[in-house]
Amino acid sequence: MDKLQTRNFIAARVAKEFKDNDVVNLGIGLPTLVANFLPDDITINLQSENGLIGLGPKPNEVNFDRDITNAGGQPVTLLEGGMYFDSTLSFSIIRGGHVDVTVLGSLQVDETGSLANWIIPGKMVPGMGGAMDLVTGAKKVIIAMTHTNKGRPKILKACTLPLTAKNQVNMIVTEMGVMAIKEDGIHLIEYNPEYTIEEIKNATEANLIVNEPIKMKVEV
């Protein structure tokens, strides 16, 4: 898989986690692609922390409106039934547990479900934006990312970068597999048959609990 295929593969698998009527917040980058793979038979309410629910696809020349953007500042549209609100209500929704699933990228995730994705001291200081609130408040936190960074594991025994939140990640989806984070550690529950279990373990610093994982089925 090339880079784009990998990203789409991950995004398509994440999209299978949603249930009818879920309120979902998709982070910037890879998670944004998840919107392209939403199932047709259920209703997903995409929330954007800058103040809307009912996030629709990118506008064309006809329905472009500079006053409608997503949390990345990109032009978007509003689906029928959607609505706008201010930042305080937006984060009441997020912090208050009214978001069912948030999908975020990450630099690091560890065995305790902690994650680090907002700062590399001395190098990159974008700020946490809404990410800290999202991972703290959402009922389910899914990390969507490539399994490694230039060959170096991103799924660690313990994060080394400053944390975004402690013990909040429930699931990790990568091109290699799907992992659930539980009390006793990270369980590999699905694997991409393009890789052997051994290859996946080698690409993971954290201990992977492997107990009859099933094959990932993703149609991109």
Partner 1 sequence: MKKLLNINNLKDHVFDGMSIMVGGFMVVGTPEFIVDELVNIGVKDLTLICNDAGLPGKGIAKLITNGQVKTLIASHIGLNPEAGQLMSAGKMECILIPQGTLAERIRAGGAGLGGILTPTGIGTIVEEGKQIINTNGKDFILELPLRADLAILEGTTVDEYGNVVYTKTTRNFNPVMATATDLVIVGAREIIKRIDPDNVMTPHIFVDYVIKEEL
Half-sphere exposure of 143 (CA within 13 A, CB side): 31
Q: Which of 17, 49, 175, 205 is catalytic?
A: 49
Question: ∠ CA 169-160-34 to the nearest 5 degrees?
Answer: 35
151 binds partner 1 (CB under 8 A): no
12 binds partner 1 (CB under 8 A): no
For the bound state, the minimum distance from the C-beta of residue 181 to partner 1, rounded and expressed in Å, comes to 15
49 is catalytic: yes
Tokens of 145: 């990312």
62 binds partner 1 (CB under 8 A): no
Which part of the chain contacts partner 1 (CB under 8 A), choosing from 101-109, 157-165, 187-195, 201-209? 157-165
In single-letter form, the type of residue at position 75 comes to P
For the bound state, the minimum distance from the C-beta of residue 114 to partner 1, rounded and expressed in Å, comes to 7
Q: Which is nearer to partner 1, 90 or 192 (CB)?
A: 90
The residue with tokens 């890789």 is 195
Tokens of 172: 């990790």
59 binds partner 1 (CB under 8 A): no
For the bound state, the minimum distance from the C-beta of residue 35 to partner 1, rounded and expressed in Å, comes to 17
For the bound state, the minimum distance from the C-beta of residue 200 to partner 1, rounded and expressed in Å, comes to 28
Binder to partner 1 among 15, 44, 156, 163 (CB under 8 A)? Answer: 163
174 binds partner 1 (CB under 8 A): no
The residue with tokens 């009527």 is 21
- Residues between 108 and 147 with contacts to partner 1, criterion CB under 8 A: 114, 122, 124-133, 136-137
Q: Quick one: 141 exposed, middle or buried, by C-beta within 10 A (0-12, 13-18, 19+)?
A: buried
Closest residue by Cα to residue 34 from 52, 53, 12: 12
196 binds partner 1 (CB under 8 A): no
For the bound state, the minimum distance from the C-beta of residue 81 to partner 1, rounded and expressed in Å, comes to 4
Closest residue by Cα to residue 77 from 91, 60, 92, 93: 60
164 binds partner 1 (CB under 8 A): yes
Interface with partner 1: number of residues (CB under 8 A): 57
Rounded distance, CA 108 to CA 30, Å?
15
Taking residue 121's Cβ as centre, other Cβ atoms within 10 Å add up to 8
Rounded distance, CA 111 to CA 132, Å?
18
The set of catalytic residues is 49
* Residues in touch with partner 1 (CB under 8 A): 23, 45, 48-54, 65-69, 71-73, 78, 80-98, 114, 122, 124-133, 136-137, 162-167
